[in-house]
Amino acid sequence: MISRLPLDEQSAALQAVLSRNDVLLEVLSRTAAMGLPDWYLTAGCLFQTVWNVVTDRSPTSGIKDYDVFYFDDSDLSWEAEDAVIRAGQEAFGGLPAQVEIRNEARVHLWYEQKFGVPCDPHTSTESAIDCFAATTCCVGVRLEPDGRWRVYAPHGLADVFNLVVRPNPVLAPQEVYETKAARWRQQWPELTVLDWPAVPGPLTGPSS
Protein backbone atom coordinates (compact mmCIF):
# COMPACT_ATOMS: atom_id res chain seq x y z
CA MET A 1 0.00 0.00 0.00
CA ILE A 2 1.39 3.40 -1.05
CA SER A 3 0.45 5.10 2.24
CA ARG A 4 2.79 2.74 4.14
CA LEU A 5 5.83 3.60 2.06
CA PRO A 6 8.52 6.03 3.29
CA LEU A 7 7.65 9.63 2.45
CA ASP A 8 10.21 9.93 -0.35
CA GLU A 9 8.72 6.86 -2.03
CA GLN A 10 5.24 8.27 -1.52
CA SER A 11 6.39 11.44 -3.28
CA ALA A 12 7.56 9.37 -6.23
CA ALA A 13 4.22 7.56 -6.26
CA LEU A 14 2.43 10.91 -6.14
CA GLN A 15 4.36 12.07 -9.20
CA ALA A 16 3.45 8.88 -11.04
CA VAL A 17 -0.23 9.28 -10.21
CA LEU A 18 -0.37 13.00 -11.05
CA SER A 19 1.37 12.32 -14.35
CA ARG A 20 -1.77 10.50 -15.47
CA ASN A 21 -3.54 13.88 -15.56
CA ASP A 22 -2.44 15.45 -18.86
CA VAL A 23 -4.05 18.80 -18.02
CA LEU A 24 -2.13 18.97 -14.75
CA LEU A 25 1.15 18.24 -16.51
CA GLU A 26 0.47 21.02 -18.99
CA VAL A 27 -0.36 23.47 -16.20
CA LEU A 28 2.90 22.58 -14.45
CA SER A 29 4.90 23.09 -17.62
CA ARG A 30 3.29 26.39 -18.56
CA THR A 31 3.54 27.75 -15.00
CA ALA A 32 7.23 26.89 -14.86
CA ALA A 33 7.72 28.90 -18.05
CA MET A 34 6.12 31.96 -16.42
CA GLY A 35 8.97 32.18 -13.89
CA LEU A 36 6.78 33.12 -10.91
CA PRO A 37 8.55 33.44 -7.54
CA ASP A 38 8.07 30.59 -5.03
CA TRP A 39 5.24 29.05 -7.03
CA TYR A 40 3.35 25.81 -6.51
CA LEU A 41 0.46 24.06 -8.18
CA THR A 42 -1.69 23.14 -5.22
CA ALA A 43 -5.09 22.33 -3.71
CA GLY A 44 -7.86 20.27 -5.29
CA CYS A 45 -6.30 19.43 -8.62
CA LEU A 46 -3.64 17.42 -6.79
CA PHE A 47 -5.48 15.40 -4.17
CA GLN A 48 -8.54 15.02 -6.40
CA THR A 49 -6.39 13.54 -9.18
CA VAL A 50 -5.17 10.99 -6.64
CA TRP A 51 -8.72 10.26 -5.48
CA ASN A 52 -9.77 9.74 -9.10
CA VAL A 53 -6.94 7.34 -9.85
CA VAL A 54 -7.39 5.41 -6.59
CA THR A 55 -11.13 5.01 -7.27
CA ASP A 56 -10.73 4.15 -10.98
CA ARG A 57 -12.22 7.38 -12.30
CA SER A 58 -10.86 9.53 -15.09
CA PRO A 59 -7.89 11.50 -13.68
CA THR A 60 -9.62 14.84 -14.38
CA SER A 61 -13.08 13.88 -13.12
CA GLY A 62 -14.73 16.48 -10.88
CA ILE A 63 -11.74 18.84 -10.79
CA LYS A 64 -13.14 22.37 -10.70
CA ASP A 65 -9.95 24.30 -11.36
CA TYR A 66 -6.17 24.31 -11.09
CA ASP A 67 -4.75 26.61 -8.40
CA VAL A 68 -1.34 28.23 -8.83
CA PHE A 69 0.06 30.01 -5.78
CA TYR A 70 3.10 32.28 -5.87
CA PHE A 71 4.66 34.65 -3.35
CA ASP A 72 5.80 38.18 -4.15
CA ASP A 73 5.79 40.69 -1.28
CA SER A 74 7.68 43.34 -3.26
CA ASP A 75 4.42 44.84 -4.52
CA LEU A 76 1.16 44.12 -2.65
CA SER A 77 -1.04 46.12 -4.99
CA TRP A 78 -3.97 44.48 -6.75
CA GLU A 79 -2.63 45.90 -10.00
CA ALA A 80 0.58 43.87 -9.70
CA GLU A 81 -1.31 40.64 -8.99
CA ASP A 82 -3.80 41.37 -11.75
CA ALA A 83 -0.95 41.75 -14.23
CA VAL A 84 0.22 38.23 -13.34
CA ILE A 85 -3.34 36.90 -13.60
CA ARG A 86 -3.66 38.42 -17.06
CA ALA A 87 -0.34 36.92 -18.10
CA GLY A 88 -1.63 33.59 -16.87
CA GLN A 89 -4.78 33.89 -18.96
CA GLU A 90 -2.56 34.15 -22.00
CA ALA A 91 -0.17 31.41 -20.86
CA PHE A 92 -2.97 28.93 -20.17
CA GLY A 93 -5.03 29.77 -23.23
CA GLY A 94 -6.49 26.73 -24.97
CA LEU A 95 -6.40 24.45 -21.94
CA PRO A 96 -9.68 22.62 -21.19
CA ALA A 97 -9.56 23.84 -17.58
CA GLN A 98 -9.73 26.97 -15.46
CA VAL A 99 -6.41 28.02 -13.92
CA GLU A 100 -6.48 30.45 -10.98
CA ILE A 101 -3.31 32.33 -10.01
CA ARG A 102 -3.00 34.08 -6.66
CA ASN A 103 -0.23 35.97 -4.87
CA GLU A 104 -0.19 34.53 -1.36
CA ALA A 105 1.62 37.61 -0.04
CA ARG A 106 -1.70 39.46 -0.44
CA VAL A 107 -4.07 36.99 1.23
CA HIS A 108 -4.21 38.86 4.55
CA LEU A 109 -5.60 41.89 2.72
CA TRP A 110 -8.86 40.18 1.74
CA TYR A 111 -9.19 36.99 3.81
CA GLU A 112 -11.21 38.38 6.73
CA GLN A 113 -13.76 40.02 4.46
CA LYS A 114 -14.31 36.73 2.61
CA PHE A 115 -14.15 34.22 5.47
CA GLY A 116 -14.92 36.26 8.60
CA VAL A 117 -11.65 35.63 10.45
CA PRO A 118 -8.38 37.57 10.31
CA CYS A 119 -5.32 36.15 8.61
CA ASP A 120 -1.76 37.05 9.52
CA PRO A 121 0.45 37.81 6.52
CA HIS A 122 1.92 34.68 5.00
CA THR A 123 5.70 34.53 4.82
CA SER A 124 5.93 32.12 1.89
CA THR A 125 3.79 30.04 -0.41
CA GLU A 126 4.45 27.08 1.86
CA SER A 127 3.02 28.93 4.86
CA ALA A 128 -0.14 29.59 2.83
CA ILE A 129 -0.47 25.91 1.91
CA ASP A 130 -0.09 25.09 5.61
CA CYS A 131 -3.37 26.93 6.27
CA PHE A 132 -5.75 24.97 4.06
CA ALA A 133 -8.96 23.89 5.82
CA ALA A 134 -7.96 20.20 5.66
CA THR A 135 -4.51 18.77 6.19
CA THR A 136 -5.25 16.46 3.28
CA CYS A 137 -5.21 19.54 1.05
CA CYS A 138 -1.78 20.70 2.22
CA VAL A 139 0.16 19.54 -0.81
CA GLY A 140 2.00 21.52 -3.46
CA VAL A 141 4.12 20.53 -6.45
CA ARG A 142 6.25 22.46 -8.89
CA LEU A 143 8.88 21.90 -11.55
CA GLU A 144 12.36 23.05 -10.61
CA PRO A 145 14.57 24.66 -13.28
CA ASP A 146 16.30 21.33 -13.85
CA GLY A 147 12.96 19.65 -14.53
CA ARG A 148 12.75 17.76 -11.25
CA TRP A 149 9.53 17.76 -9.26
CA ARG A 150 9.47 19.46 -5.88
CA VAL A 151 6.75 18.12 -3.57
CA TYR A 152 5.68 20.02 -0.46
CA ALA A 153 3.53 17.90 1.87
CA PRO A 154 3.91 19.00 5.53
CA HIS A 155 1.38 16.42 6.75
CA GLY A 156 2.59 13.61 4.55
CA LEU A 157 0.59 11.88 1.85
CA ALA A 158 -1.01 8.94 3.65
CA ASP A 159 -4.40 10.62 4.03
CA VAL A 160 -4.41 11.61 0.36
CA PHE A 161 -3.90 8.04 -0.81
CA ASN A 162 -6.21 6.63 1.88
CA LEU A 163 -9.10 8.96 0.92
CA VAL A 164 -9.18 10.56 4.37
CA VAL A 165 -10.20 14.20 4.82
CA ARG A 166 -8.73 15.53 8.07
CA PRO A 167 -9.49 19.02 9.48
CA ASN A 168 -6.77 21.61 9.87
CA PRO A 169 -8.13 24.15 12.40
CA VAL A 170 -5.35 26.72 12.17
CA LEU A 171 -7.10 29.42 10.11
CA ALA A 172 -10.18 28.49 8.08
CA PRO A 173 -13.45 28.33 10.08
CA GLN A 174 -15.26 25.07 10.76
CA GLU A 175 -18.03 25.85 8.28
CA VAL A 176 -15.49 26.24 5.47
CA TYR A 177 -14.10 22.78 6.20
CA GLU A 178 -17.52 21.18 6.49
CA THR A 179 -18.84 22.82 3.31
CA LYS A 180 -15.83 21.70 1.29
CA ALA A 181 -15.90 18.19 2.75
CA ALA A 182 -19.60 17.79 1.99
CA ARG A 183 -19.05 18.86 -1.61
CA TRP A 184 -16.13 16.48 -2.02
CA ARG A 185 -18.06 13.58 -0.54
CA GLN A 186 -20.83 14.08 -3.10
CA GLN A 187 -18.28 13.63 -5.87
CA TRP A 188 -16.19 10.96 -4.11
CA PRO A 189 -18.50 9.03 -1.72
CA GLU A 190 -15.61 6.72 -0.84
CA LEU A 191 -14.05 9.47 1.30
CA THR A 192 -13.76 9.25 5.05
CA VAL A 193 -14.38 12.75 6.46
CA LEU A 194 -13.16 13.30 10.02
CA ASP A 195 -15.06 15.62 12.36
CA TRP A 196 -13.88 19.09 13.28
CA PRO A 197 -12.22 18.88 16.73
CA ALA A 198 -14.11 20.03 19.82
CA VAL A 199 -10.96 21.74 21.10
CA PRO A 200 -9.33 24.16 18.64
CA GLY A 201 -5.79 23.43 17.60
CA PRO A 202 -3.94 21.82 14.71
CA LEU A 203 -4.51 18.17 13.97
CA THR A 204 -1.59 16.34 12.43
CA GLY A 205 -2.06 13.31 10.28
CA PRO A 206 0.40 10.49 9.63
CA SER A 207 3.70 11.67 8.18
CA SER A 208 4.33 8.58 6.12
Please give the average per-residue pLDDT across 124-131, as a whole number: 97
Which residues sit opposite 41 in a β-bridge? 68, 141
- Decide if 154 contacts 143 (C-beta within 8 A): no
Judge whether 204 lies within some domain. no
Q: Where are the alpha helices (DSSP H) in 67-204?
A: 78-91, 107-115, 125-129, 158-162, 174-187
pTM confidence score: 0.89
Query: Has residue 127 been placed in a domain?
Result: yes
User: For the segment 20-50, what is each residue's pLDDT rounded down to a tens digit?
Assistant: 999 999 999 999 999 999 999 999 999 999 9
**pLDDT value, residue 51:** 97
Q: How far apart are the C-alpha atoms of 40 and 75, rounded to whole Å?
A: 19
Q: Which domain holds residue 65?
A: 2-193
User: Under 8 Å CB-to-CB from 122, ≥6 apart: which residues?
Assistant: 71, 104, 105, 107, 108, 128, 131
Confidence of residue 10 (pLDDT cuts 50, 70, 90): confident
Domain count, the chain: 1
Looking at residue 20, its pLDDT comes to 97
How long, in residues, is the chain?
208
Q: Predicted confidence band at 6 (pLDDT cuts at 50, 70, 90)? A: low
Q: Give the span between the Cα atoms of 81 and 147, in whole angstroms.
A: 26
Tell me whether residue 208 is in a domain.
Answer: no
> In this structure, is residue 15 part of a structural domain?
yes
pLDDT tops 60 at residue 205: no
Report the chain's mean pLDDT, rounded to a whole number.
92
* Residue 206 reports pLDDT greater than 60: no
Pairing of strands 192-193, 149-152: unpaired
Nearest to 13 by CA among 200, 157, 171, 192: 157
Q: Is residue 203 part of a domain?
A: no
Residue 76 lies in a domain: yes
Any residues with CB less than 8 A from the CB of 79 and at least 6 apart, and which?
Answer: none
In a domain, 207, yes or no: no
3 state SS of 94: coil
In a domain, 69, yes or no: yes
Q: Summarize pLDDT for 66-112 with one digit per residue, the tens.
A: 999 999 999 999 999 999 999 999 999 999 999 999 999 999 999 99
